[in-house]
Chains A and B, each alone.
Chain A
Amino acid sequence: MDLYRAHVLVCGGKECTDANSEAIINIFNKELKKQGLEKEVQVIKTGCFNLCHAGPICIVYPEGAFYSQVKTTDVPVIVQEHLVKGKIVKDLLYKGSFEKGIVSSLNNVDFYKKQTRIALRNCGVIDPENIKEYIAMGGYQALGKVLTEMEPMEVVKAVQESGLRGRGGGGFPTGKKWEFAHKIKDDQKYVVCNADEGDPGAFMDRSILEGDPHAVVEAMTIAGYAIGASEGYVYVRAEYPIAVKRLKIAIKQAKELGLLGENIFNTGFNFDLKIRLGAGAFVCGEETALLNSIEGKRGMPRPRPPFPAIKGLWMKPTLLSNVETYANIPQIILKGADWFSSIGTVKSKGTKVFALTGKINNTGLVEIPMGTTLREVIYDIGGGIPNGKKFKAVQTGGPSGGCITKDHLDTPIDYDNLIELSSMMGSGGMVVMDEDNCMVDVAKFFLEFTMDESCGKCPPCRIGTKRMYELLEKMTNGEAQPGDIEKLEELAYNIKASALCGLGQSAPNPILSTLRFFRDEYEAHVNDKRCPAGVCQGLLTFTIDAELCKKCGICANKCPVECISGEKGKVVYSIDKNKCIKCGACLEACPFKAIKKG
């Protein structure tokens, strides 16, 4: 097969054909031949672009240059300028709503342009409470294809060949899990969906369940057929009432149409789906704790092996995947494993959904192809850091992940690259931090979370996270002693090596990664009793710059504890550090920026 360096897409919809798009295609082919480019550039007739008023339309890839109202005489110009010289012919580009200088459609905003939507394809497009809208978008076609045309092992193979890896955090090859569960023989197997999304700042799974619940229902039914299971459970946290409600509606509608239940597509295949509500314990997102919780036991992890694919729910073989992983399955079946594996990097295929939060302009939900750089996500899609502040780090992987600094912003995002940077993909939370964030404080925040959420089964996690938290508290209060950083580091490595489940093992990660990249901040806290970002209240001091002070006395009026002295118009004001409660009221009040925090 010839590899083309460029593609010209010409609209073959009705309106464009009426407006002479056939002739345009012919001239394109003729001109390309003239330039000897017929082996380098391919001309393709496409379906309607839904922009018929701007037709005839052609788009030239890879640039994606969008030419509208193309006349036959424009074609030689496009070939000569764009395809030979590589210069986009700006005069012929689509102007549409740009004419007024205003973009009216979300599709034209930078936020959307770099995204590829597979798992989120229907989110924000269809009514999630109406199964017919899902079907109109091609829903349940994959299930029909699987049941009527494919053997279970073929389905497993397709998932394997797609290269899909678990989107919940670890990145284990999904196809391998399917194969284990398929091959083991048992009278009863289960399919389970992990929708117990608990990372602070993450809301990908919630959004998929709220926006496209049928995708998960369809994928789990496909999985049931592939591994030979007739029953499935979705474990979703009760804090997601809208997701739960829409999922319930989806299951009910699928049952009414016979897409769940008995004898689906008249093939004799039965599959039933149930919902189990989690009470919100973070540890229940850990797969073995989740299985215990479904069984009605206390949500605590079990030792692995045996892995759930061998002995899972009620000790039966169980396929357990995350919401986003499932949401990719119907598209893989419909469009093929080759299509899916053509997106992404060598070892990480497809796309990943991220929840962008923190100090970023465009807070929201984005789906990007693997291999997109962090810089593109934060600056091009996320719109950069608000208020002109400097970027400091981005936290990925939630409480199990770590921070990535500006030196690594050009790293293409995939499972292995993030692990190399001592962070991880995690479920997809991306918390952006700017110069005003103290990294010791950030580590303390995540530690407080894991400490609270530790289930208490194993001592390294139960006692260890508490001890680490105490050390961090000492540091942020200005009570740390020399050697505390080393103590913290040693403790972190010991917990990593000895905790029972993934949550305990990864609990020290936020500390280790901030220590790796921001050791100077820890040292400032311990040795100089200073918080460089000015966050840790225990370490703050407020001072008045005598040269900048205009003796106006506003600060003294605002101070709630009367610790600022001076005389209006005569004596420069100063703060009594022993009485100061570090509330920052004076800093805000000073019209001359004479008060410094540090």
Chain B
Amino acid sequence: MKRPYLEKTGRVFYLLLVLLLACGLKAASADRPVRFDLKVELLPETATLQGKGTIVWTNRTADYIPDIQFHLYWNAFKNELSTMAREARREKMISRYRVKKDEWGWIKLISLSTDSGLDLLPSASFISPDEPHNPDDQTVLRVELPEPLAPGQAITLNLEFQARVPGNGLRTGYYRDGFFIAQWFPKPGVYEEGRGWNCHEYHLNSEFYADFADYRVEITVPSRMVVGACGEEVDKRDDPATGKTTYTYVQQNIHDFAWTASPRFVKLERWFKGQEEVRPEEYRQMAALLGLEPEEIRLPDVRMILLIEKQHQKQAERHFRALRAALKYYGLWYGPYPYRTITMVDPPFRTGSGGMEYPTLFTAGTSVILEKDVLSPEQVIIHEFGHGYWYGLVANNEFEEAWLDEGINTYSTGRVSEVAYGPGRLPLRFNGLPLNWLLKTPAVYDWQLGRLVSATVAELDPIVTDSWKFYNSMSYSLNVYYRAATCLHTLERLLGEKIWARVMRTYHMRYRFRHPKTGDFIRVVNEVSGQDLTWFFQEFFYSANNFDYAIASVEIGLKPEKYRGVFDSLPTANSAWPAAPARGKPALKQEKIYQTTITLRRLGQARPGPGYSLKLRVDFEDGSSEWREWDGQGRWARFYFEKPARVKTAVLDPEAIWLVDSNFSNNSYSKTGPGARLMSATGKLVWFLQHLLLTFSGLV
């Protein structure tokens, strides 16, 4: 049963949230369990990093903790026995990670000691926490503490490390003197009270999970390099004697730190002005939708930094326009962007680091030749910026529930690009050259493409699956990105624009700077909508069931003028055939009455939950329409119509609520069919095949 949204309660809640936010990141600082103070030098000639620094880790739980577990991610690129390499081999992608002899990536702890000088390295050992265990993996290091860390107690760790940038990098890497450096330092896992360390190995199909922390990082590089990093640059020192420059970056309340350096970057800056980018009318409309005051959703100014390769410099404004749109709509819909800077990186050529997100910094990726109506690089920019919200701020565990950031963010990307740009044409390229001027491809919205491709994996894995336990990479990506996004589009259509907007904002603001799980999202959906939608998540997120309803048949026949047999005058129960509606004038004797039977079928396992149904709209040739509803629980249902007109069209789910339906092509009936469009499609196919055959015939 639906309940109206409690507007007043919502307002008070949002006001509290905004006040909390207004207190700034500083107020939350005391809650953060980690503080990093790192110094790193890049030696481009050998593609190595020399690092040292201090990590202060505080036990914020009630547990006594006997050890600390560190991610040493770059050891995934150390050899062909790492968990990531084994997974790549299983996926027949191992050649992608094979490199020349001296280009394997690795990270080595040179020293690790407590503040009191106690050497912890002797008590360190590599572990393999994930199933199936891989004793050869060296991406998780367990360090035993001399004595368990008591609740509230902090430990200061001094460390020195050396690392080689992977030449075969995934999300990180280098090519010649262009570097993108991510997951580069020993990083503690997340300690979860009562459950211990959550510190997974580096997997092929997984991203990351870490605690919010305060970072201060000094980066030393050759002076000819242009540098960008997470957070704000607070200092820059040139050393003419060595030809090196040291940059200092500081950022509070982020859970990762990445940086980049290349001599081919051009650094550009623009401002996002909350007052100018959003019209007062837009503030008013959005505030009304969210049940807030316009002042409560005002967007702050943000410094936008773009590091773009010189070859792409002409596309700078296209990059900024997309980032502006993302800052505006993510900010309006989910909450204001809380940091002062956002750095957008056009990643150094051939570093394998495009399209990746880090807090306050993301990488996009473009091409020297662009088409106007293909939304590239726009969609990548919107998507990767969006991860600043879904992963950056609402920091779910990407190892275990990747859909919470990838799925929600794919949904959000589609919505932002739809509002800001409209549909984008599908790219068509040959040998790097665009061909859209010659062959016109369809203009599509992100969700249209997403629901089409996601249908292929509906029965492979549930969306909520550990990232490394999916059937394969395809199932991982299509499930957590596109199927999850399609399910969210469906949920949006089920709940309506207003409730959905409030669900998303509540979830985002409530779990900012926290680590929510799928259960938390479900609780917010149920709470804000006032309905129990747990069934929706059980059906579409925790099960691998296909949702496919169809119009199986439409049978039309003339009602016989007479029925033969023996009839008496006793009254009968209501007929299954509804009588033709009475008209203003008595029916003519010759008027034909048509009896129509429409059979619907459920072809998949998935079903709507209690209180939900599928609608059937039937249009008749006399202009009248009839609606029916089916709860979809059975395998089939049959509907009967008796009208003085034939059926013209019948559409199951005509409002396209159930976007998760894997096949919309079986959801409708029309007497004439698509006519010219089908003929055109088959004509083109024949023509294309003739063309192929003709070319092939030239070979013999």
- A and B pair up: no
Residue numbers of B with Cβ under 8 A of A are: none
